[in-house]
Amino acid sequence: MESQADKIVRSLWAQPAAGGAHVVATVLSNPGHLAEWKEEVKRIVERCMLIRELLRERLRLLGTPGCWDHLTQQAGLYCFTGLNGEQLDFLSKKRHVYLFASGCLNVSAINGRNLDYIAESIHLAATTSF
């Protein structure tokens, strides 16, 4: 019974959802939808770039040790912070700021309400002796 359930689950995970493929096909085949989608992607990219710039500037103003230029030299929804394991543990356990074990931060999760808190938390992680 377990092996049958395992086969079913694996087949569901291995095959892309038909509904999602239909949505993509609909968007990409309609010039109006495609233009709207491209504008939305452009807004997302611009927002992530702005968040990266604001975070770098906040860290600079706080006097956070090190150079944080790499935040704006990277691209995408995630950025590598360069923080070590102890600093990441501090962020998650003491400040409830969660990064990947690799030190990657989800830029798209940062907004005007949590930007200062995240910058202050990174500053504390970088300046606290462990």
- Res 12: pLDDT: 66
- Res 121: pLDDT: 99
| Tens-digit pLDDT profile for residues 89-113 | 999 999 999 999 999 999 999 999 9
pLDDT of residue 15 exceeding 80, the answer is no
Q: Which CATH number fits domain 2-127: 3.90.1150.10, 3.30.450.20, 3.40.50.620, 3.60.9.10?
A: 3.90.1150.10
| Tens-digit pLDDT profile for residues 56-84 | 999 999 999 999 999 999 999 999 999 99
Exposed/middle/buried for residue 5 (C-beta within 10 Å: 0-12, 13-18, 19+)? exposed
